[in-house]
Amino acid sequence: MHELLLSDVAGETFKNIRKGATFAQALNWAEKTDNAVVLVSGAAVNNNATRSTALANTRTLLKQLQRLEPAPRVAVALTMSDLLDEDGRARWDAEKAALVELAKAVDANAQLFETAAQSPTGESPVGLDPLVEWLTQTRDAPPRTDGPAEPQRPERTAGRVR
């Protein structure tokens, strides 16, 4: 069994975290979080006017996760990747390794995901299954088998969609 909490936290809370408040100070439940996914808007990355702010905010949030004890599992997820044009894709490809390195400062096994409502070939949705699978695995998950899974403590995951 997994507990999945997708919270609608006010943007001001994350603004306070980016300004220096810790996750624990801003969100009293943050230290109970097992998994953290930092979402990056593909629409923001694709837009010259919003790209640098979106990426800077992502870097700051990843750095702030380093202060959280105990450290959660961490993933970076590009949302709306289907909105990236050629320039947006090139900028994302140039930046994503640095974001993953920041995430690995929190969790050595940090992951990168890309999701989209529709793929270029018209399939829908893209990238959600691997992200959900990651969210429902525990840090020390045993290899999957065909038999019933052993009971484990519930996972708590928090995220914010913007």
**Residues 59-99: tens digit of each pLDDT:** 999 999 998 888 999 999 999 999 999 999 999 999 999 99
Residue 122 region by backbone torsions, left for phi larger than 0, else alpha for psi between -120 and 50, else beta = left
Q: How far apart are CA 83 and CA 156, in angstroms?
A: 30
Looking at 1.10.3470, 1.10.1660, 1.10.287, 3.40.50, the CATH number of the domain 33-138 comes to 3.40.50
Q: What is the rounded CA–CA span in Å between residue 68 and residue 115?
A: 26
Q: Global pTM?
A: 0.78
For residues 33 and 18, what is the distance between their CA atoms, to the nearest angstrom? 19
Which residues of the chain are under the pLDDT cut of 50?
142-157, 161-162
